[in-house]
Amino acid sequence: MFARIPKFAVLFDMDGTLIDSEPYWMESESALAAEHNGQWTQEDGLDVVGMSLDQSSKLLKDRANIPLEPTEIVDRLTSEVQSKLAKVIPWRPGAKELLLDLKKHGVKTALVTMSLHRMAQQVVDAIEFDAFDVIIAGDDVTRGKPHPEAYEKAAAALGFETSRCIAFEDSLSGLNSAEAAGTLAIGIPHVVPIPEKEGRTLWPTLVGVTYKQLRKLI
């Protein structure tokens, strides 16, 4: 008897959804601003949650008057955050448990992040099982979130229509991206709130979420 092939895929955002890395980003942004006698507050850091690194680095450059090119800022911050992740990766509650359950049932998965591919690969490599089939990172697309390109590209790479994909996001920008792509997008608010609106699905956590529960949604 053949096992049933799952008819849906699951797409995960990384920063704030799979891992609690936003504090690492904010700490590195503030340190870079201070190094150049600029200021970058916690509110500034919250403003860029979910943005593409290109957008956030330009804001950081302008607000803190940093004499580096945006690409240099991105490389610098990414390397610093990767250094912190090499010591401790703070996993978000329920995320790895859900991933393991999905893989046991043969569900295709993708990591869809605006962080650089090298950082996403570091996080994926730290998972003790084969958690993701595809990584679509910020340097793999030409238009970052909230544009739908990243989610459209992830679904295509997995061989699924976006309407057959469930996407998890913790930020409004990311959720807008997943919604615009036509996925069944579910917001898991973390460091920034996500406003409610008709047709939008928000869950408080991924703790206890299972394959069987997700299967009923598609």
Same domain? 16 vs 47: no
Q: Average pLDDT per run of 10 along the chain, which is 218 residues long?
A: 76 97 94 94 89 91 94 96 98 98 97 97 98 97 96 98 98 96 97 93 98 94
* Confidence at residue 3, expressed as pLDDT on a 0 to 100 scale: 57
**169 strand-pairing partners:** 187
Of 87, 105, 125, the position where a domain reaches its end is 87
Same domain? 58 vs 118: no
Same domain? 94 vs 178: yes
Instruction: With respect to residue 1, please indicate whether it lies within any of the assigned structural domains.
Output: no
Same domain? 197 vs 185: yes
Same domain? 171 vs 100: yes
Residue 82 structural domain: 22-87
Same domain? 101 vs 30: no
* Half-sphere exposure of residue 21: CA atoms within 13 angstroms, side-chain side: 27
**What is the number of domains present in the chain?**
2
Lookup: tokens for 66: 């940093």
